[in-house]
A and B are shown apart, each in its own frame.
Chain A
Amino acid sequence: MKITKNDVEHIAQLARLEVDDSLVEKFAGQISRTLQYIDKLKEADVSSASLASDAVFQTNVFREDKLEESPGPDVTLANAPERDDDFYTVPRIVG
């Protein structure tokens, strides 16, 4: 599979990345080569294979529905780039 500069820009948009022009070209080449290599998966006969979404555990793990002490807003927001009182603040969302 070969991907173009446009593909890289489109996927970057999906991933919320802003890849500058000089990198787009480099990435398109490097990622194309990787995807071409990955294409060998198409040769594998997977008709009898199941999905292995987890290497060891296939069952759900539940915890007791018990109230526990929370660390509180000052601990939770200790690393916030910007905060206002007990809230995270972000740039405007709608215009």
Chain B
Amino acid sequence: MEMHELTIHQAADLLEKREISSRNLVLSLLDRIEDLDKEIGAYITIDREGALSQADRADSRLAKNEKDPLLGIPLALKDLLCTKGLLTTCGSKILANFVPTYDASVVSMLNKAGAVTLGKTNMDEFAMGSSTENSGFHITRNPWNLDCVPGGSSGGSAAAVAAGLCTSALGTDTGGSIRQPASHCGVVGLKPTYGRVSRFGLVSYASSLDQIGPITKDVRDAAIMMNVIAGHDKHDSTSANVKVPDFTAGIGMFEKEGLKGMKAGIPKEYLDVKGLDPDVEKAFYDAKKVLEGLGVEVVEVSLPHTDYAVASYYVIAPSEASSNLARYDGVKYGFRDRSADELIEMYKKTKSMGFGDEVQRRIIIGTYALSAGYYDEYYGRASKVRSLIMDDFTKAFDQCDIIISPVAPTPAFKIGEKIDDPLTMYLTDIFTLSANMAGLPGISVPCALSSDNLPIGLQIMAKRFDESTLIRAGYGLEQSFSMAGRNFEIPRGKPGGKI
């Protein structure tokens, strides 16, 4: 097995037995990044020196038989998580020179657990997008087919995990930005419950929806990452002061009891979604059969306000964004246009030169929705619809333990295909954004390959703070799916080639 194929738990095992060193693991990944990332574009910043010095520290701790869950494991971080002394751009020209003076809480937690940061991954600017084509720097290509998008907004993290350019990664999910790229790249993506993971040091997009979570090669790795990053943080007033379980226990539970006694709901409204790709539909029904084979009882549930979810989301998220992004005015940090000789003009020029089109579009929609005379009609109404969506889930979860659905209506689409049609791009978020609206956890687990050899994931959602059930069910599915010979070797210099 090659270094770049290792999962966290495999690498940790070899590190502990001293069969490999963290330095060698990191060096081999850095070489691979140098070799392949010109084609994929998963990273914005590589921290070679920092990574090697963290690896050396990990090796000396390993030599002393010290133990920590991620000791010596090389990770990639989505470039909106503040890293002290390391460039953090949020995929935006407006933060192209921003070097944080502190670590995000999750970054401190990873460091404390012994992890090594390889670098910062590409993303849609300010996490606004579903394809990573909105990055202010460059696009990211899907390692399975270089003509396709990796999904987004955590497309860099998902592509890096899929192509073996890191052992595991962190992403963020505001409307599907962990689960959808994970699905498109054939890896596991877990969006935790809102409040489960601290958002301190995460560059805000839509604060009532944003959540940080792992993108990993398998479900066990997602549980290992969750054990490190979950928990209450006094620096984030929305972080939940609730007990944090051992998330790997869900795996033990599957091994002991399978999925017997579990009930899975299928929302009948999801089956009526227009534009569902036949391969995605088949993958979904195959996954349902697999679940039934594992002892799961499948029931039909109803989420009656599904048809309003996208509309409500695209009022709430831009409204919060228009408020959050007002801070990028060229005064305290980030880019400043120096040609203006008057303050308001400086604000305007700075923002317009610093923000890309999609960010400006969403600021305009959000400002409009919050403006005098329109607030009740847009933000007020969307917020009420959101509470109806939350009620729908509460009622549905009276009948089941998990809800299953496709992650996205289609496999990864072609680069450039939807970039000039924002509304069509927004509509692809239909299956994922409700979990953010209701604050629920969700996971994407690879379950099939399309006829064009592109990965397709299954989404599982659970009740608030019940990530353990997601891990148990996700692990069960993972053990059963036959993604035979999943192999991370990507084509060299041959766009459109297959793995």
Contacts and interface: CB of A to CB of B under 8 A. Distances in A.
A79 B437 contact: no
A91 B331 contact: no
A49 B387 contact: yes
Contacts of B381: 41-42, 44, 46
Given A16-B329, A16-B351, A79 B364 contact: no
B9 interface: no
A33 interface: yes
Contact of B380 (A12, A51, A55, A63): A51
A16 B340 CA distance: 14
B263 interface: no
Contacts, number: 174
Contact of A19 (B195, B310, B322, B352): B352
B311 A49 contact: no
Contacts of B439: 55-56
A27 to B, nearest CB: 6
B426 to A, nearest CB: 7
Interface string A32-75: 01110111111110100111111111000101000000010001
B365 A34 contact: yes
Contacts of A39: 311
A79 B98 contact: yes
B98 to A, nearest CB: 6
B361 A30 contact: yes
A81 B102 CA distance: 18
Given A27-B360, A57-B238, A41 B365 contact: no
Contacts of A95: 342
B423 A90 contact: no
Contacts of A15: 322, 326, 351, 363-364, 367
Interface residues of B, number: 74
Contacts of A80: 331-333
A86 interface: no
Contact of A30 (B308, B333, B363, B423): B423
A24 B237 CA distance: 38
A87 to B, nearest CB: 11
A16 B390 contact: no
B341 A41 contact: no
Given A38-B311, A44-B388, A55-B209, A27 B364 contact: yes
Nearest to B336: A81
B336 A44 contact: no
A52 B367 contact: no
Contact of B331 (A41, A46, A54, A90): A90
Interface range, A side: 35 or more
Interface in B296-348: 305, 307-308, 310-312, 314-315, 322, 326, 329-336, 340-348
B384 A50 contact: yes
A91 B343 contact: yes
Contacts of A53: 208, 383
B184 to A, nearest CB: 23
Interface string B180-204: 0000000000000111000000000
Interface string A3-32: 100011001101111111001000100110
B212 to A, nearest CB: 15
B423 A34 contact: yes
A9 B412 CA distance: 35
A61 B386 CA distance: 23
Contact of A49 (B330, B342, B378, B384): B384
Contacts of B326: 15-16
A54 B209 CA distance: 8
A41 B336 contact: no
B371 interface: yes
B344 A46 contact: no
Given A51-B387, A53-B383, A17 B364 contact: yes
A56 B240 contact: yes
A78 B332 CA distance: 9
26 contacts: A15-B364, A18-B351, A19-B364, A34-B314, A35-B368, A38-B311, A41-B312, A44-B305, A46-B385, A49-B384, A50-B387, A53-B383, A55-B194, A55-B390, A56-B193, A56-B464, A57-B240, A63-B234, A71-B101, A78-B101, A79-B99, A90-B346, A91-B343, A91-B345, A91-B346, A93-B343
Interface of B: 97-99, 101-102, 193-195, 208-209, 234, 237-238, 240, 305, 307-308, 310-312, 314-315, 322, 326, 329-336, 340-349, 351-352, 355, 357, 360-361, 363-365, 367-368, 371, 377-378, 380-388, 390, 422-423, 426, 436-439, 464
Interface of A: 3, 7-8, 11-12, 14-20, 23, 27, 30-31, 33-35, 37-44, 46, 49-57, 61, 63, 71, 75-76, 78-82, 88, 90-93, 95
Given A18-B348, A27-B360, A56-B240, 18 more contacts: A11-B364, A11-B367, A11-B368, A15-B351, A15-B367, A16-B329, A16-B351, A17-B351, A19-B364, A30-B423, A35-B368, A41-B315, A41-B381, A42-B377, A52-B390, A55-B438, A88-B331, A91-B342
